Structure 1
Amino acid sequence: MKSKSPTLLLWLLGLLLLVNMVQSHFTELLFDEAYYWYYAQDMAWGYFDHPPMVALMIKISDFFFDGELGVRFLSCILSSATLYLLWLMIDSVKKQQYVWHFFVLVTSMTLLNAYGFFTLPDTPLLFFTALFLWLYKKFLAKDTLFLALCLGVVMAALMYSKYHAVLVIGFVLLSNLRLLKNGKAWMAVVIALLCYSPHFFWLYENNFVSLEYHLYERPNRAYDFNDFTLGYFINLVALFGLTFPWIYRSLFKSKSTDLFNKALLYLVYGVLIFFFISSFQRRVQTQWIIVICIPMAVLVYNHILASPVDRKWIMRMGIANLVIMGFLRIGLVYPPLFPITFETHGNREWVEAIRSQIGDTPVVFENSYREAPMYEFYSGIPSFSLNNVQYRQNQYTIDGSEERVRGKKVLYIAKTYKQGDVVYQNAKGRTLYGKYIDDFQSFRNLSTAVEDAGKPGDGLALLKVYNPYPQSIPMRSLKFGITFLNHYKQVKQILPLQVRPVKEGETLLKGKDSTSFYFEMPESPIDDPGYFKITIAENNLYWAINGKNIKFETWNP
């Protein structure tokens, strides 16, 4: 009997690792990768959008290499390791005869191929899902204390990768409720919670800002069948490319022959159903469902070992997928081959176009957590994203990075500028402008809380403003406004708001202290408002994101 790991497979995985490393070196960063690189410059137990695993991967990669490979090196390693774990999960002795079929199947899955070198939160999610399932398979065969310990650590690593990991763990548990009576399974859960406790503490320290934003504050829009639900089904096709008919045919023919197979099926169908239901509320992004590629790879390969017809067609269409993806991967480096200007194109050029005009002057980008870290990565100069009420909160909201540019001369870049001191073109050819600000002062972390707004015409309402900064802020440098949003939390209109301090004569917002104001709740300027919030504009900057969205009906029933 041949070994479990035939030489051919090891050579193919080694070749794949080499190709991904070369690709990583020559491909400019995605905007999200630059954002996660920015995470890694200040290691923490959590970040605004994601848990910290992606930052840790970049920190480790940076230890070995510089530049783009210093962001992606560990992703290349984990990609090949993920495919090897998939191979280990397949028991059939026939697999030794179809190594090429396995390799083509897993590498032809479009996003699984892309995450072979890109460093995104889904990269460790895929690896730790594969490792979790492999350990779970062994745990089903023999539930030892060592395996329980390993499962606990890996479950924590899954959750440190991306919050979607709760679906992986939850659906596997749902497939085998007898685990609730297994003491070693409970031990694994306790270990996972202990390992994950630093992130829980980070969430607590940061007022659960990530959950608050994603669950309550994030804007949405009205249901659109084509973009939401139909778009979800298009994503299911895009996930597998030309092989999709035979991939899903293999899934539908797969049976729950044992507890492990049952777990794989529960995981696939559970994720598909969960996001199908979600598609009636918001647009489902393709990467949200990528985790099904791990159980699907095992289920589909087991099926094609017994089905010559499906095996033949998946091999043919898989090779076609690889040819197309190979062409596109070259296009990531050589733009003329790519059908559109992609975000890996031209970033060095627009960064250099700015730096050649301003030297080492820091740059503040209005409403762009994408351009700010990209500029800093390729220039080495501090950059900052100043977020306002027309945008969204992000890591720049909570990490105190505005202190790096406070009081300095900066170049302020806004897409709304029609002229400025500096002009450049981005990668897509759009002309943008920047203006110098000699003494940049922003106070984006001022927070507002409405104690009692009352109804329009009811008289004075109470507003509390907390100043988290150590320094006091002159009130004359601030303007107050009230932002009206629709029921989908989209900003519709902002009105100036007249406020006066409760304590007459106060002229400062004292550092590390709250100041109370009176204001009168105005009539809504929009029909059927859903929410409102009190916002502040400091030093002639645009309105900030200061307060939470407040349901309008709560204050004006």
Structure 2
Amino acid sequence: MTLLRTVYASAIELRTDEAYYWTWSKEVALGFLDHPPGIAWLIRFGTAIFGDTTLGVRFGGIVAMLVTQLLLADIVRRLTHDVRAVVFAVLMPEAALYYGLLMAKVAPDVAMIPFAMAMMWSLVRLAQSGDGRWWLAAGLFAGLSMLSKFTAIMFAPAVAAFLLVPDWRWRWLRSPYPYLAVLVAIAAFSPVLIWNAQHDWASFRFQGVRATANYGISLRTLGDFIGLQFGLVGFVMLPVVLTGLVLTAWRGARMREPVAILLSTAVLVPFLYFLAKSTTLRVGDTWPMFMWPVGFAAAAVNLATMAKENWSARMLSSSVFWARTAVGSGIAFVVIVFLYYVAAPWNLLGKIDPIGAEAGYEQVAARAQAALDETGATWIATTDYRTYAMMRWLFRGRVPVIEINERGRFQDFRDPGMDRIRGHAGIYVGREPDDRSSLWENIPAKREPLGEVERSWRGIRSDTYVIEKLTGWTPELSPPKDSPLFQWKVLADCLPSPGGGGSIARSASGVG
């Protein structure tokens, strides 16, 4: 399965967000508007080995999956001493589409998951040994997980319950180690705090829009969330994991067992939060993925624990059957999806295909290169971060690429090559209808239409792009924060429309 992910990582062109994170890996900033810098560092690790290739960008995700599985195996080994439970724990993520295949698709969650699992592993070691120094390790890994994605904070209720609910609470409340762990976590997370303090707390404001958005009850977004969990975790695996979590939570509540409380709360609290949030907001496909590896550990431990309790033979046999079915059917599904994207010639999902919808940028880049050759222009302009990222990825520094708006996304980015931009003509590459946006009222460039190009995948058109020549203007890299060219957009695909169909875009300025 690791070889399968490696082939996938090498064969499938980058998606737009992956290319965007790759652009971050070329910077030395302490933080970024959208997320902490962990994913940029993970990509830099891979490209240092394999260069600026698709495998280089995604290699960190392949390593992250292996580290996650090793931590899962050791957690279950320590709690059960059952080889079959350990094997089950290792195979469960292989049978879940998001982990078995899509951990090769880099995202901030990919950088966060191994650190979050390392935090859980440290707390398991703490519970078994009673050595307070494991709090310090847990604090370090907690800070590193936050340095990758803010949603790691959703493990805080589980850690608090682990500390306060068991009978040992007064021992640890009187100990300096939990408090020192908090300081260690803050120190590890400090690059994000420093960057935000220097930039009006921009990334906290950006993410705050998503966390507080509410557009009324929508059964569509609720159905999207539930369907995504079945698709990405597994149609059989999801019920198996949830059942294991509920039984683990019951044991933890009945016996005040620290690890059972930790594992069950770490998944059930975020799951219930996202479930409630999905009634008013489209929950992103990756948002809940940080928590399910902990659920895999709980489910594997639950199987071994049931065998030691007074469960009926029929119930034990049924539990083992469904666990094996979940793993077998899940791995088969992962392999089928792999073959569909790597070897099949069809597009069975049309425009909603998650890979196909972001493929075909090579066609746009080829037309942009032709326009550069025809006009003698020396740089490329875009008006959305996705096109910007893909043009930077495909041109690999041969031509300066700049997004002329949303400059709040690019604070502390290095000079893109203004000596090749200032006083020279440029090529605008924009998706229709961005070429007719009111934004252009603030840009005094002379625009000359050069043509259009379609972006398609396996015969299905996704978008049409306009190619124009720009003259008489030099873009401003650092416009005032109240300028329309500084303001960034909060992604429309995260926000449902009030009417329940389509989506709406939101804007937020750098000063909130």
Bin of the TM-score, shorter chain as denominator length: 0.7 to 0.9
Instruction: Provide the rounded CA distance (Å) in 1 between the counterparts of 2:405 and 2:485.
Output: 18
The verdict on how the C-alpha distance between 1:57 and 1:267 changes in structure 2, with shifts beyond 3 A counting, is same
For 2:467, the equivalent position in structure 1 comes to 434
The answer to whether the 8 Å contact 2:58/2:106 transfers is: yes
For 1:250, the equivalent position in structure 2 comes to 244
Displacement, 1:334? 4.0
1:64 aligns with 2:64: no
For 2:440, the equivalent position in structure 1 comes to none
The answer to whether the 8 Å contact 1:412/1:434 transfers is: yes
Displacement, 1:74? 1.8
1:215 aligns with 2:208: yes
1:201 aligns with 2:194: yes
What is the DSSP-based 3-state SS (H/G/I as helix, E as strand, rest coil) of the residue aligned with 1:277?
helix
What is the DSSP-based 3-state SS (H/G/I as helix, E as strand, rest coil) of the residue aligned with 1:436?
strand
Instruction: Provide the rounded CA distance (Å) in 2 between the counterparts of 1:76 and 1:447.
Output: 41
Give 1:135's match in structure 2, choosing from 93, 110, 122: 122
1:226 aligns with 2:243: no
Displacement, 1:24? 1.1
For 2:402, the equivalent position in structure 1 comes to 384
1:77 aligns with 2:63: yes
Displacement, 1:27? 1.5
For 2:501, the equivalent position in structure 1 comes to none
Aligned pairs (5 A) from 1:83-482: 83-90=69-76, 91=78, 95-97=82-84, 101-144=88-131, 146-177=133-164, 178=169, 179-216=172-209, 222-243=215-236, 244-254=238-248, 255-256=251-252, 258-305=257-304, 306=307, 307-334=316-343, 336-340=345-349, 341=353, 342-343=356-357, 345-359=359-373, 361-366=378-383, 368-380=384-396, 381-387=399-405, 395-396=409-410, 399=413, 404=418, 405-414=421-430, 415-416=432-433, 417=435, 420-427=449-456, 428-429=460-461, 430-443=463-476, 445-447=478-480
The verdict on how the C-alpha distance between 1:44 and 1:127 changes in structure 2, with shifts beyond 3 A counting, is same
The verdict on how the C-alpha distance between 1:141 and 1:443 changes in structure 2, with shifts beyond 3 A counting, is same
Displacement, 1:282? 2.2
Displacement, 1:435? 0.6
The answer to whether the 8 Å contact 1:218/1:489 transfers is: no
The answer to whether the 8 Å contact 1:304/1:311 transfers is: yes
Range 20-29 or range 221-230, more displaced = 221-230
Identity among equivalent positions (%) equals 17
The verdict on how the C-alpha distance between 1:431 and 1:199 changes in structure 2, with shifts beyond 3 A counting, is closer
Which residue identity lines up with residue 208 of structure 2 in the other structure? L
Displacement, 1:219? 9.8
Which residue identity lines up with residue 246 of structure 1 in the other structure? V
The verdict on how the C-alpha distance between 1:400 and 1:100 changes in structure 2, with shifts beyond 3 A counting, is closer
Aligned pairs (5 A) from 1:499-518: none
The verdict on how the C-alpha distance between 1:123 and 1:184 changes in structure 2, with shifts beyond 3 A counting, is same
Instruction: Provide the rounded CA distance (Å) in 2 between the counterparts of 1:384 and 1:189.
Output: 40
Displacement, 1:162? 0.3
Instruction: Provide the rounded CA distance (Å) in 1 between the counterparts of 2:401 and 2:231.
Output: 35
Displacement, 1:226? 1.7
Displacement, 1:133? 0.4
Displacement, 1:276? 2.9
Question: Unpaired segments of 5 or more residues in structure 1?
Answer: 1-15, 450-464, 469-487, 492-532, 534-543, 550-557
The verdict on how the C-alpha distance between 1:349 and 1:331 changes in structure 2, with shifts beyond 3 A counting, is farther
What is the DSSP-based 3-state SS (H/G/I as helix, E as strand, rest coil) of the residue aligned with 1:242?
coil
The verdict on how the C-alpha distance between 1:238 and 1:467 changes in structure 2, with shifts beyond 3 A counting, is closer
Instruction: Provide the rounded CA distance (Å) in 2 between the counterparts of 1:144 and 1:270.
Output: 27
Instruction: Provide the rounded CA distance (Å) in 1 between the counterparts of 2:329 and 2:68.
Output: 23
Instruction: Provide the rounded CA distance (Å) in 2 between the counterparts of 1:548 and 1:394.
Output: 10
Which residue identity lines up with residue 276 of structure 2 in the other structure? I
Aligned pairs (5 A) from 1:6-85: 16-66=1-51, 67-85=53-71
Larger radius of gyration: 1
What is the DSSP-based 3-state SS (H/G/I as helix, E as strand, rest coil) of the residue aligned with 1:54?
helix
The verdict on how the C-alpha distance between 1:409 and 1:29 changes in structure 2, with shifts beyond 3 A counting, is same
The answer to whether the 8 Å contact 1:175/1:259 transfers is: yes
The verdict on how the C-alpha distance between 1:208 and 1:348 changes in structure 2, with shifts beyond 3 A counting, is same
Q: What TM-score, normalized by structure 2, do the two folds share?
A: 0.78
Range 115-124 or range 416-425, more displaced = 416-425
Displacement, 1:185? 1.5
Instruction: Provide the rounded CA distance (Å) in 1 between the counterparts of 2:278 and 2:85.
Output: 38
The verdict on how the C-alpha distance between 1:180 and 1:548 changes in structure 2, with shifts beyond 3 A counting, is same
The answer to whether the 8 Å contact 1:106/1:297 transfers is: yes
Range 154-163 or range 356-365, more displaced = 356-365
The answer to whether the 8 Å contact 1:153/1:191 transfers is: yes
Which residue identity lines up with residue 363 of structure 1 in the other structure? I
Displacement, 1:406? 4.7
Displacement, 1:111? 1.6
Question: Unpaired segments of 5 or more residues in structure 2?
Answer: 308-315, 437-447, 487-493, 498-505
The answer to whether the 8 Å contact 1:80/1:116 transfers is: no
Which structure has the higher relative contact order (CA within 8 Å, separation 6+)? 2
The answer to whether the 8 Å contact 2:27/2:414 transfers is: no
Instruction: Report how many residues are paired.
Output: 445
Displacement, 1:100? 5.0
Displacement, 1:398? 6.4
The verdict on how the C-alpha distance between 1:300 and 1:24 changes in structure 2, with shifts beyond 3 A counting, is same
Per-residue CA deviation, residues 179-199 of structure 1 (Å, 9 max, x unaligned), is: 443311111111221222232
What is the DSSP-based 3-state SS (H/G/I as helix, E as strand, rest coil) of the residue aligned with 1:32?
helix
Displacement, 1:93? 5.2
The answer to whether the 8 Å contact 2:85/2:300 transfers is: no
Larger fraction in strand? 1
What is the DSSP-based 3-state SS (H/G/I as helix, E as strand, rest coil) of the residue aligned with 2:119?
helix
What is the DSSP-based 3-state SS (H/G/I as helix, E as strand, rest coil) of the residue aligned with 1:175?
helix
The verdict on how the C-alpha distance between 1:337 and 1:250 changes in structure 2, with shifts beyond 3 A counting, is farther
Range 176-185 or range 329-338, more displaced = 329-338
Displacement, 1:227? 2.9
Which residue identity lines up with residue 60 of structure 2 in the other structure? L
What is the DSSP-based 3-state SS (H/G/I as helix, E as strand, rest coil) of the residue aligned with 1:28?
coil
